[in-house]
Amino acid sequence: MNEQVDEQLDELRRELCEYGRRAAALGLVIGTSGNLSARKGDLVVVTPSGVALDRLRPEDCPVVDLEGRVVEGERKPSSETPMHLALYEATGARAVVHTHSVFATVVASTMTELPPIHYNALLLGGAVRVAPYATYGTPELARNVIAAIEGRQAALMASHGAVTIGGGMEQAFEATRLLEWLCEVYVRALGVGRPTVLTEDQLTAVIERALSG
Ligand SMILES: [Zn+2]
Mean local confidence (pLDDT), 187-195: 97
CA distances from 137 to 14, 84, 86, 100, 128 (A): 25, 10, 11, 14, 21
Q: How far is the CA of 190 from the centre of ligand 1 (A)?
A: 25
Q: How far is the CA of 162 from the centre of ligand 1 (A)?
A: 8
Q: How far is the CA of 98 from the centre of ligand 1 (A)?
A: 7
CA distances from 117 to 72, 120, 158, 189 (A): 44, 9, 20, 9
The single residue of 80, 89, 180, 208 carrying the catalytic annotation is 80
Mean local confidence (pLDDT), 76-88: 97
Residue 210's CB is within 10 A of a number of other CB atoms, namely 11
Residue 114's CB is within 10 A of a number of other CB atoms, namely 27
Q: Class of 3-212 per CATH?
A: alpha beta
Residue 2 pLDDT more than 80?
A: no
Q: How confident is the model at residue 134 (pLDDT cuts 50, 70, 90)?
A: very high
- Please state, for a pLDDT cut of 70, what percent of the chain lies above it: 100
Per-residue pLDDT reduced to its tens digit, 111-130? 999 999 999 999 999 999 99
Per-residue pLDDT reduced to its tens digit, 11-38? 999 999 999 999 999 999 988 899 999 9
How far is Cα 186 from Cα 190, in angstroms, rounded to an integer? 6
Evaluate whether 211 touches 126 at the Cβ level (below 8 Å): no
Residue 1 pLDDT more than 80?
A: no
Per-residue pLDDT reduced to its tens digit, 41-50? 999 999 999 9
Q: How confident is the model at residue 93 (pLDDT cuts 50, 70, 90)?
A: very high
Q: How far is the CA of 135 from the centre of ligand 1 (A)?
A: 10
Give the model's pLDDT for residue 20. 96
Q: How far is the CA of 89 from the centre of ligand 1 (A)?
A: 19
User: Residue 34 region, left (φ>0) first, then alpha (ψ -120 to 50), else beta?
Assistant: left
Give the model's pLDDT for residue 207. 93
Residue 175 pLDDT more than 80?
A: yes
Give the model's pLDDT for residue 31. 85
Give the model's pLDDT for residue 213. 76
Q: How far is the CA of 163 from the centre of ligand 1 (A)?
A: 9
- Chain center to CA of 19: 12
Give the model's pLDDT for residue 100. 97
174 catalytic? Reply is no
Residue 84 pLDDT more than 80?
A: yes
Domain ranges of the chain: 3-212
